[in-house]
Structure 1
Amino acid sequence: MMQYQDEAQLLLDAVGGRENIMRVTHCVTRMRFVLRDLALADKDKIQKITMVKGLFAQAGQFQVIIGNEVADFYQTFIALAGIEESSKESVKEAAKDNMTMLQRLMANLAEIFSPLIPAIITGGLILGFRNVIGDIAFFDEGTQTLVDKSQFWSGVHAFLWLIGEAIFHFLPVGITWSITRKMGSTQILGIVLGLTLTSPQLLNAYAVAGGAEIPFWDFGFAKMNMIGYQAQVIPAMLAGFALVYLERFWRKITPEAISMIIVPFFALVPTVILAHALLGPMGWIIGSAISQVVYSGLTSAFGWLFALIFGFFYAPLVITGLHHMTNAIDLQLMAEFGGTMLWPMIALSNIAQGSAVLAMIMLHRQDKKEQQVAIPATISAYLGVTEPAMFGINLKYGYPFLMGMIGSGLAGLFSVATGVMANSIGVGGLPGILSIQPKFMLLFLIAMSIAVIVPLILTLGWSKRVKN
């Protein structure tokens, strides 16, 4: 490990010395610093260090791209600096001191949804696969699906819904659990709260939307509707935060000797009552209003303009962290309309930024150091993770980032203009097609081609203009 001592010393000096470092950790390829004063970091010096492949600041963190050797380099660095090893969670918390209030809000929202993403992606892939085998009529001159032709695939289709239902219908359970986890309260209470929002004895949220007669609890002096909030995001979030703050209140005023009895009971029961009497209905109205506004915007006469703007500005949203709010909107659209038109545009933005980096690979093929960043960044972007592409290459030069934004905007415009809809949030980038509803897959392929070709040609063309 000490083979990196010289490079580690150079980096330590360039970030402003040990005194300027509040926390430092690492991920797969990057050192992640929380600095007391970002202005003390000499970016030019850092860029000249042989092992450094790029740097950027995001979400209150100063991140230095090292590559696959980052784990050993990190150990050498903290030993040299005399700094204790930090966890990613502690670094994230410390970084919030360097954020604006809006950035903190978005960071907290991201931390609530991030643990749910693997399940949501899995659910999206499952729904996509079920649609391919159950909805696309491949056989008998377009009259029968694979499910119609095969008992085996019919069984697979039915079985996979067990997982899809668990992920999406019971999504509120994941949300309330994640909120209690994030806020440091009792996680099992969050799970129980989520289950009370999705219990089978409640009228399904989809049935309510379909006009079914609503049962109710009759308390004599008052009645409360027995409505479930399956797949609903806002009601679950409101209930989850109510539980957290009630638990904190009771824990603060309750003697330790009886807290195990008092705190869980007086936190959970009032929250469940609030959830069904006030927060659930209120959250439903808010969530429906948000989804209606977005859906109306996408399907209106000016939907093309909405798509162009969203597609163009999505990559800058990623830089600020504001893109995390789209997860909640996507999930709400899925609950209200059976799919989302936002997710396809997000996948297209991933592709467009990756294509801009691909152009830079072609232009700078002799620059071996840059290739070490650019090639993995391109692959990462095409698979749905754009930060390495944007921060490692595109923002460094400026114009590739802009060309990616233009390609994303045009691809998004085509996607919305042709009505492309995804079943759910899924894998981003090129594999994003797996989450697209089957009848729109061909159109999405055309949109993907736009996202690949336009940034590639524009970046190559602009580079020639710059050289001239």
Structure 2
Amino acid sequence: MNFKEVAKDILAALGGKDNINAAAHCATRLRLVLEDEGKVDQEKLDSMDVVKGTFSTGGQYQIIIGTGTVNEVYKELRKLTELSDMSTSDVKSAGAKKMNPLQRFVKMLSDIFVPIIPAIVAGGLLMGINNLLTAQDLFIEGQSIVEANPGMVDLAALINTFANAAFVFLPILIGFSATQRFGGNGYLGATLGMLMVHPDLLNGWNYGATLVSGEIPVWTIFGFEIEKIGYQGTVLPVLAASFILAKIETTLRKYVPAALDILLTPLLSIFVTGLLTFTVVGPLTRSAGNLLTDGLVWLYDSTGFVGGALFGLAYAPIVITGMHHSFIAVETQLLADIAKTGGSFIFVIAAMSNVAQGAATLAVFATSRDKKQKGTASAAGISALLGITEPAMFGINLKLRYPFIGAIVGAGVASAFVTLFKTKAIALGAAGIPGIISIRPDTILFYVIGMLISFAVAFIVTFILAKREVKKGQKVA
């Protein structure tokens, strides 16, 4: 392959070097910030063998090329555009300037929660292992594995302790990530999180019961009472407190003399933020967080399979807007409060949608007469089944339209089914076939059946729509 010629062709289709403000690449894609996406010659890009698909999201125009090849194309493209070498973070920052306020808010949540997902995933999966060991009738009739093997009791207890750690100390993780994202010192944010889960405070999960009994411990300062309540497993309180901490810290650094900065800025930042957290911010946001969680659980329990179907139909369109990143914060709260919520239904709906996108793309593979499209569809379809839908959704389904219709129909039907049987996840992970290990053990069977329904419906609907396109005399692929 002549990478220089490929780069020249791509550059010409993008509207020339003056239309490119920033460029970088990840493992498979060119990530570009364009001055005007309207100047892109989409047909020319689609006709190039090296281009496996394109899509626009988060202020970036992304071109799917493939592992290995993308590196070489990027090198030549950078020479032609005379742009300096950039990281994907640099391009994200450049792309963020083109976003509207809602898109920037969603990106902010994504920037905060994506770095801590591995910790949440690890805790959730360990929780799943513990459930496999302690769930009755799952492997042995009338017994759990632990009951059948008493020597494993402490092993289950050990795993349970490991699993709970990330959720008990969740404010520390969020405090570090959020404060850093808001422009403050991440370690001060972590310290704030430690304040919110300090052992001297009443455990946040016991707050409801203690509130009823009227035995809430307090600090009495100059006649004012401040409740000594912890914020274990919370999201909104630490997000709000981290924002305040970052703003106080950055403001103080402007006015505190350099000689005193290392002493006064951390001291005042933590003290003032801590005081505000326990008196105003924490109680208000705790109530707001509880209302949000209770509202979602009520909606899920009340609307039943109809609500699940509507959410399944809407999930893929939500992904197109990028709004699905905001679900990370909600899912984290659902998982942190798993005793009340039972887990996350959002993850399960996302998995049904992803499998449906993969099935629709594979239906295109089965009906297409275009060799390039068949090659792209096969790889993209398998990727979507494993939880990565961008190549399938943007490279095939949205471009042809009818596969996207087939996919959302499949997602809607499957989501209705899994909602009917209260299928929930106890961990985050790859929302697709590998997501089986993230599902609550007693609902794994329904999750698998849901994926089969999603695949079958999406594939059949897309196949039928493809045949109709052929009868109309339209080009299927």
Normalising to structure 1: TM-score of the pair? Answer: 0.95
1:437 is aligned with what amino acid?
Answer: R
Distance 2:114 2:14 in 1: 29
Distance 1:37 1:450 in 2: 41
Aligned twin of 1:442: 445
* Secondary structure of 2:387's aligned partner: coil
* Secondary structure of 1:98's aligned partner: coil
Deviations 1:414-466 (A, max 9, x none): 11122222223333111222222222222222222211110011111111111
Question: Retained in 1: the 8 A contact 2:53–2:391?
Answer: no
Distance 1:165 1:375 in 2: 40
Aligned twin of 1:392: 395
Distance 2:154 2:362 in 1: 43
Question: Retained in 2: the 8 A contact 1:358–1:374?
Answer: yes
* Secondary structure of 1:22's aligned partner: strand
Q: Is 1:299–2:301 an aligned residue pair?
A: yes
Deviations 1:322-370 (A, max 9, x none): 1112122222233142422222111111111111112112223x54422
- Decide which of 356, 361, 376 is 1:352's aligned counterpart: 356
Deviations 1:265-303 (A, max 9, x none): 111111111111111111111011111111111111x33
Aligned twin of 2:39: 40
1:268 is aligned with what amino acid?
Answer: I
Q: Is 1:209–2:213 an aligned residue pair?
A: no
Aligned twin of 1:380: 383
Question: Retained in 1: the 8 A contact 2:125–2:163?
Answer: no
How many Å apart are 1:151 and its aligned residue?
Answer: 4.5
* Secondary structure of 2:62's aligned partner: strand
After alignment, is 411-420 or 29-38 more displaced? 411-420
Distance 1:169 1:371 in 2: 48
Superposition pairs for residues 17-28 of structure 1, below 5 Å? 17-28=16-27
* Secondary structure of 1:83's aligned partner: coil
1:340 is aligned with what amino acid?
Answer: S
* Secondary structure of 1:210's aligned partner: helix
- Decide which of 333, 340, 344 is 1:340's aligned counterpart: 344
- Number of residues of Structure 1 aligned to a counterpart in Structure 2: 464
After alignment, is 232-241 or 203-212 more displaced? 203-212
Superposition pairs for residues 36-75 of structure 1, below 5 Å? 36-68=35-67, 69-75=69-75
2:98 is aligned with what amino acid?
Answer: N
1:73 is aligned with what amino acid?
Answer: V
Q: Is 1:122–2:97 an aligned residue pair?
A: no
Aligned twin of 1:290: 292
2:311 is aligned with what amino acid?
Answer: F
Deviations 1:120-161 (A, max 9, x none): 222222211211111133566x22211122255433322222
1:277 is aligned with what amino acid?
Answer: T
Question: Retained in 1: the 8 A contact 2:234–2:286?
Answer: yes
Q: Tell me, which stretches of 5 or more residues in structure 2 are unaligned?
A: 472-477
Distance 1:458 1:318 in 2: 21
How many Å apart are 1:243 and its aligned residue?
Answer: 0.7
Aligned twin of 1:269: 271
Question: Retained in 2: the 8 A contact 1:247–1:263?
Answer: yes
* Secondary structure of 2:56's aligned partner: strand
Distance 2:430 2:227 in 1: 37
Question: Retained in 2: the 8 A contact 1:350–1:429?
Answer: yes
Question: Retained in 2: the 8 A contact 1:172–1:233?
Answer: yes
Aligned twin of 1:175: 174
- Cα 1:138–1:34, aligned 2, differ >3 Å: closer, same or farther? closer
1:84 is aligned with what amino acid?
Answer: S
Distance 1:329 1:318 in 2: 15
Distance 1:432 1:50 in 2: 33
Question: Retained in 2: the 8 A contact 1:120–1:426?
Answer: no
Question: Retained in 2: the 8 A contact 1:331–1:424?
Answer: no
Deviations 1:68-87 (A, max 9, x none): 11112111211232211111
How many Å apart are 1:24 and its aligned residue?
Answer: 0.3
Distance 2:49 2:451 in 1: 36
Distance 1:49 1:246 in 2: 52
Identity %: 37
Aligned twin of 1:281: 283
How many Å apart are 1:15 and its aligned residue?
Answer: 1.2
Question: Retained in 2: the 8 A contact 1:127–1:435?
Answer: no
* Secondary structure of 2:97's aligned partner: helix
Q: Is 1:324–2:322 an aligned residue pair?
A: no
Question: Retained in 2: the 8 A contact 1:407–1:450?
Answer: yes
Superposition pairs for residues 229-244 of structure 1, below 5 Å? 229-244=231-246
Distance 1:87 1:138 in 2: 47
Distance 1:379 1:318 in 2: 19
Distance 1:280 1:383 in 2: 39
* Secondary structure of 1:56's aligned partner: strand
How many Å apart are 1:220 and its aligned residue?
Answer: 4.3
Distance 2:382 2:157 in 1: 34
After alignment, is 84-93 or 323-332 more displaced? 323-332
Distance 2:231 2:136 in 1: 30
Deviations 1:31-75 (A, max 9, x none): 010011111222122222231111111111111111111112111
Distance 1:424 1:210 in 2: 27
* Secondary structure of 1:327's aligned partner: helix
Question: Retained in 2: the 8 A contact 1:194–1:236?
Answer: yes
- Cα 1:331–1:359, aligned 2, differ >3 Å: closer, same or farther? same
Distance 1:146 1:268 in 2: 47
Q: Is 1:411–2:395 an aligned residue pair?
A: no
Distance 2:146 2:324 in 1: 37
Aligned twin of 1:132: 132
How many Å apart are 1:397 and its aligned residue?
Answer: 0.7
* Secondary structure of 2:24's aligned partner: strand
- Cα 1:382–1:59, aligned 2, differ >3 Å: closer, same or farther? same
Deviations 1:365-389 (A, max 9, x none): x544224432332222222221121
Aligned twin of 1:80: 80
Aligned twin of 2:474: none
Aligned twin of 1:458: 461
Q: Is 1:157–2:156 an aligned residue pair?
A: yes
Question: Retained in 1: the 8 A contact 2:183–2:250?
Answer: no
Q: Is 1:429–2:432 an aligned residue pair?
A: yes
Normalising to structure 2: TM-score of the pair? Answer: 0.93
